[in-house]
Amino acid sequence: MTQTHRRTTKIDVAVCTYRRAELDQTLLSLAVLTIPAGVQVRVIVADNDVTPSARDRVDAMRSAISFEIAYVHCPASNISIARNACLDHATGDFVAFIDDDETASQDWLAELLAIADTTGADAVLGPVKAVYANVAPAWMQRGDFHSTLPVWVADEIRTGYTCNVLLRRSAPSLAGRRFNIALGRSGGEDTEFFAHMHDAGGQIAFAEDALVYEPVPSGRATVSWLAKRRFRMGQTHGRMLLEAATGLGRWRAIALAGTKSAYCFVAAALLAASPVKRHRYGLRGIMHAGVVSGLLGVREIEQYGNLEKAPQ
């Protein structure tokens, strides 16, 4: 009787890092992942600093992690360069991305893989749960303004993010696809990446139990940080609309986004007594204002490499 052997599934877990001591906790959370039978994991750490500042930190963690760790130095201060380095060095069937200030739940990778197997999707997103410190405003914690979930449009997910995702490397929609280096300092490179992947026929699924946790530092627990982030998100969306809009279509899109922004600001004023609703509408108004900015061709504000440069 001939015995059949199941082929090993190989997964590269990619972590892009830039001067973050929290990388230690990220790697330790990967060390205790539940790995399904027949799955082999390798970790890729892409150091985006000018100097290889994370090398010693990664080397010190090797004894605590049973997986192979590939360290890649890919300067500098451009997240797209780091993400592309991870894709270039990936050799597995799948590549999963997690941020260097996040920690994975024990079943994170298993849950992503299970949904990939059952749906056949090209990309599987998981939720990112924000963890607030006591210094965060009460309304911010109640409204949970920092957690990340996918957005459904007409019962499908049309774009995604890299803070919790599994990619099927053999998918035609991902063949040769890379992150836009021009957006590597502003952000929005992941939104564009997944939107173009979807436009190429790629399916994006959601694994609701593939949870990762992200602490919210004091510098992010502010209205100004949220406003800047929402405006940049709007700029990215507006720029993508601009790629497809021509003639009067562009001005119709500007008018629509401007109307939505005004509506949200009015709603925020009328809901002044409810902090959660007021800020939710206000931030949405700022996002739509960002869409107008993007449609007018204004360059996106730079975030990566400028914010939260915590020393090692």
DSSP conformation letters of 218-231: TTTSSHHHHHHHHH
| Phi, psi angle pair for 17, to nearest 5° | -135, 150
In a domain, 309, yes or no: no
For residue 311, what pLDDT is reported? 33
Kindly state the percentage of the chain with pLDDT values over 70.
94
Pairing of β 204-206 and β 123-125? parallel
In a domain, 1, yes or no: no
Helix (H, G, I), strand (E, B) or coil at 169: coil
Q: What is the average per-residue pLDDT within 172-198?
A: 93
Same domain assignment for residues 202 and 227: no
Same domain assignment for residues 56 and 161: yes
In a domain, 105, yes or no: yes
For residue 245, what pLDDT is reported? 79
CA angle 285, 148, 102 (to 5 degrees): 135
In a domain, 287, yes or no: yes
Same domain assignment for residues 145 and 109: yes
pLDDT digits (tens, 9 = 90+) for 275-312: 999 999 999 999 999 999 999 988 776 655 554 443 33
In a domain, 305, yes or no: no
Q: pLDDT at residue 28 above 50?
A: yes
Rg from Cα positions in the chain: 20
By 3-state DSSP, what share of the chain in percent is helix, strand and coil, each rounded to 5?
Answer: 40, 20, 40
The range of the structural domain enclosing residue 234 comes to 223-295
| Domain count of the fold of the chain | 2
Of 3, 4, 23, the residue nearest 14 (C-alpha): 23
- Distance, CA of 186 to CA of 102 (rounded, Å): 20
Same domain assignment for residues 19 and 162: yes
For residue 3, what pLDDT is reported? 45
Q: pLDDT at residue 4 above 60?
A: no
Same domain assignment for residues 253 and 139: no
- Contact in structure between 79 and 161 (CB atoms under 8 Å): no
Contacts of 293 (CB under 8 A, 6+ apart): 231, 234, 235, 238
Query: H or E segment at 96?
Result: strand 94-98
Pairing of β 94-98 and β 103-104? unpaired
pTM of the full predicted structure?
A: 0.91
Q: What is the average per-residue pLDDT within 21-48?
A: 97
Same domain assignment for residues 198 and 236: no
Helix (H, G, I), strand (E, B) or coil at 250: helix
pLDDT digits (tens, 9 = 90+) for 225-284: 999 999 999 999 999 998 887 788 899 999 999 999 999 999 999 999 999 999 999 999
Same domain assignment for residues 118 and 266: no
Q: List the CATH number of the domain containing 44.
A: 3.90.550.10
In a domain, 308, yes or no: no
pLDDT digits (tens, 9 = 90+) for 123-134: 999 999 999 999
In a domain, 60, yes or no: yes
